[in-house]
Amino acid sequence: MNQWPLWLGYALWADQIMVKKNTGYSPYYLLYGQHLLLLFNVANSTFHILDWPKVMNTIELLALHMQQLDQ
């Protein structure tokens, strides 16, 4: 019970970025007019732009992975 001040900031942040049922938007969006861009969203998007159909073996997979790390 005495640790709630440590977790309050995280709880408030989570509340600000969650989409609310009554408005259909997050408070963050309503305040700033744009959706929050989380690090996961950036990493996930870059992962999906790789040319996966060209990968036919382990060597090509490793090369594609190294190419992603260089960018």
The enclosing H or E element of 29 equals helix 27-32
DSSP state for residue 54 in the 8-state scheme: G
At 54, the amino acid letter reads K
29 vs 59: CA distance, rounded Å: 43
27 vs 15: CA distance, rounded Å: 8
65 vs 35: CA distance, rounded Å: 29
- Structure tokens given for 49: 């732009």
Q: Mind listing the pLDDT tens digit of every residue in the chain (71 residues)?
A: 889 889 999 999 889 889 999 999 999 999 999 888 776 666 665 666 667 777 788 888 788 777 766 66
